[in-house]
Amino acid sequence: MPSPQDLRKTFANHTIQAFDHDPNATTAIVTSPDGGTTKRAVDLRDFECFAVIVKPTIVAAGGLTKVEIVANTASDFTGTTVVIKDSGTVAADALDDYVVQECSAAEVKQEGNDQVPAVDLRYVAARMTMATATDEASVVYIRSKPRYPQNALTATNIT
């Protein structure tokens, strides 16, 4: 029998979301299921930390070669984009490989303040570079330490 207890610990203190990344390019593309047209970014305003896990799902030749955390002033990433973290060159060329990156909201704020002129960075995303245009990945975003912990910050998503 399944446990009747409702602890609500993990999903009340983290927002965890999984995305498909199909960039159809070998250039750096923000998480997108359609070649960069739809960008998957999240608001970091009410959280202290952001982390990303990227795992190749289709490897035609070289797979995943770089993962960055980028921040922007606009939710649709049409504003100023700043690199917060950079994995450097990686060779995630097997289905069991994955790359992780994390940053704090304080780092994002500081990087925005360091720009000339200063910018208010609020939205974060992973930006990946794939070796071939047919390589794809699965991307998990994790926002932690919410200002207002509450039930169902993470919820099932079926579209």
Looking at the chain, how many residues does it have? 159
HSE of 82, CA atoms in CB hemisphere, 13 A = 23
CB-CB neighbours of 63 under 10 Å: 23
- Burial of 91-104, coded b for 16+ CB within 10 Å and e otherwise, reads ebbeeeebbebebb
Task: Copy the structure tokens of residue 86.
Answer: 């950079």
Rg (CA), the chain: 16
Does residue 70 contact residue 63 with C-beta atoms inside 8 Å? no
pTM (predicted TM-score):
0.93
How far is it, in rounded angstroms, from Cα 54 to Cα 16?
13
CATH number of 21-146: 2.60.120
Q: What is the pLDDT along the chain (159 residues), one digit of tens a residue?
A: 777 776 668 888 999 999 999 999 999 999 999 999 999 999 999 999 999 999 999 998 889 999 999 999 999 999 999 999 999 999 999 999 999 999 999 999 999 999 999 999 999 999 999 999 999 999 999 999 999 998 888 888 887
What phi and psi values does residue 112 have, to the nearest 5 degrees? -65, -40
Distance between CA 118 and CA 100 in Å, rounded? 28
Domain ranges of the chain: 21-146
- Judge whether 127 and 52 are in contact, CB under 8 Å: no
